[in-house]
Structure 1
């Protein structure tokens, strides 16, 4: 009998607090993450942990994934990378190769297939995995351990066997718990740039609608308004990068106005279309955060290659939820 599971990753800030999760049903899922990682690392770790957690079954496995980066890495590019000594066509080292090497080893002798699904489009398994991965990232952002879930029956550490689940598929598995991702070289330099990894964007082509978005409404449960704003600001950066106007409409105030790095005036639509704002962010350094009653001001430094900018954003509670009403990017030097 084929095992069908969804695998997903999340990063708040990308890099930032990161989570991963796979999901089969409410009684069979697993999640974990790191204090600092990237979305791509989370996506890969979800697949790796799923492979490890089901290795003892001998059953075929179908993995539902909204990341083209993961699917292409495993099914198209990995064979060539291995022949080149884990180098890309341009001769540069493959990003996240520690995780990819572990996935390659875990695939040995397995009957595994991948299926792409559109993220945030109502697919029940994908939505459940996404919620748990985002929950793990949010937990690390708040300095807490995430809910690891029961894992797969018979897997080491599975609560199905009455054992503590911990944060990895097996005790001591590299990259499954707290600290830094298995791809330590990427983590040491702040993670790989953006969501793109070794190719174009691995975004989720999200098409949410209505007055709520899975995973974002839960941000209201964070301890402080500053915590909410930090979480949602990371989502703004992510939505801008993958040109996701629907998510931005949820996050931005109807009266939103912004100023781009070149001094251009922006509204929600032009922010989503801004080439400068959409360029890959290599790292984020938070400079300040201030709370003024029902208004939160955030200020942080972003790095895009050799260039850097200061972004200041203002958030306030509108109709029961926090939304950004002003955002300005100022190029440095």
Structure 2
């Protein structure tokens, strides 16, 4: 017997109110999250909770994920990280390391297979898991708690509405939870950080993460003058392997729910002057239009 499930995560603003969810069928699902977290934390925690709740099952487990970051972390990178004391090849600490360690423990002795599916493409289980993760993030954004769901039979944990919450490490500057007492970023600061995230290979290599940042009616006029649709961009985007920094030229509030960001992308290959229009869509900032022109 094989249990077939989908797992997904969501973060409004990334980071921001975050949720996770996994789905087997209408009678077997779960969700949770945090007031502040990242999309990757949600994706990983959805898989972790599924593993923990099926720990006493003798069945094999097939997990559909739309995050290559999650699949590669578990199936490719984790053994090497573990051998190196949970550090990456460049010596830097592994991100989300406490969740990674918990996943490593939960996978011991298990027969688990992961398959990638394209997000927002009509895959029934993935769509349900995405709905649960988004609903959980939205619940936290309004000061509530998500429906934890029925879980996997008797294995339902009493605290599952909150998911897996790593213990804060205040000495680590990149520890997300150490910033909880700091002032909330402004809308302009959020938009700049979201734009900056689209330059990273971690986000560009995860179609679901990119899709979450692009408005449904997104369009772009590229450096060559080509007009790109959202679907074309999601099919073509991927890691570049080129470090690119963002230099803000101006940030203009068009109206309450619209911000125009003019910025310069700087890399060893070229400098490109860019402009991006960001709209607040159902509580989330999403890029609506983008244009770039190479500088001489």
Question: Corresponding residue for 2:77?
Answer: 77
TM (normalized to structure 2)?
0.66
Checking the alignment, whether the CA contact within 8 Å between 1:21 and 1:32 is kept in structure 2 is yes
TM alignment of 1:263-302, pairs within 5 A: 269=229, 296-298=257-259
Query: Partner residue of 2:270?
Result: none
* TM superposition shift of 1:269: 4.9
The 1:102–1:291 alpha-carbon spacing in structure 2 relative to 1, beyond 3 Å, is: same
Q: C-alpha distance in 1, partners of 2:92/2:2? A: 37
Distance of aligned partners of 1:73 and 1:315 in 2 relative to their CA distance in 1, 3 Å threshold? closer
Give the conservation status (yes or no) of the 8 Å contact 1:56–1:154. Answer: no
1:151-300 equivalences under 5 Å are 151-157=151-157, 166-168=160-162, 174-175=165-166, 185-187=174-176, 188=178, 196-197=201-202, 201-204=205-208, 235-236=213-214, 248=215, 250-252=216-218, 269=229, 296-298=257-259
Contact 1:257 1:265 in 2 (8 A): no
Match of 1:240 in 2: none
Q: Deviations over 1:166-207 (max 9, x none)?
A: 5146xxx5359xx99xx995414799966754x96122399x
Q: Is the 8 A contact 1:18 1:136 kept in 2?
A: yes
Task: Provide the TM-score with structure 1 as the length reference.
Answer: 0.60
Corresponding residue of 2:36? 36
CA contact (8 A) 2:64 2:114 kept: yes
Which residue does 1:138 correspond to in 2? Answer: 138
1:204 counterpart SS class: helix
Report if the CA contact (8 A) 2:33-2:162 is conserved.
no
Corresponding position of 2:49: 49
1:11 offset after TM fit, Å? 1.6
Secondary structure of 1:145 counterpart = coil
Distance in 1 between residues matched to 2:56 and 2:120, nearest whole Å: 31
Q: In the superposition, relative to structure 1, how do residues 91 and 25 fare at CA in structure 2: closer, same or farther (>3 Å)?
A: same
Separation in 2, partners of 1:185, 1:37: 12
Shift in Å, 1:86: 1.1
* 1:18–1:42 CA contact under 8 A, matched in 2: yes
Moved more, 138-147 or 69-78: 138-147
- Displacement of 1:39 in angstroms is 1.4
- 2:186 corresponding residue in structure 1: none
Change (3 A) 1:314 1:64: closer
Structure 1 residues 168, 50: CA separation in 2 closer, same or farther (over 3 Å shift)? farther
Q: Is the 8 A contact 2:21 2:130 kept in 1?
A: yes
Does the CA-based 8 Å contact 2:64-2:115 persist in structure 1? yes
Local SS of the residue matching 1:138: helix
Structure 1 match to 2:7: 7
How many Å separate the matches in 2 of 1:115 and 1:257? 31
Distance 1:280 1:28, change over 3 A: farther
Q: 1:3 to 1:72 in 2, by over 3 A?
A: same
Distance (whole Å) between structure 1 residues aligned to residue 262 and residue 34 of structure 2: 22
Aligned residues: 255
User: Which one has the bigger strand percentage?
Assistant: 2
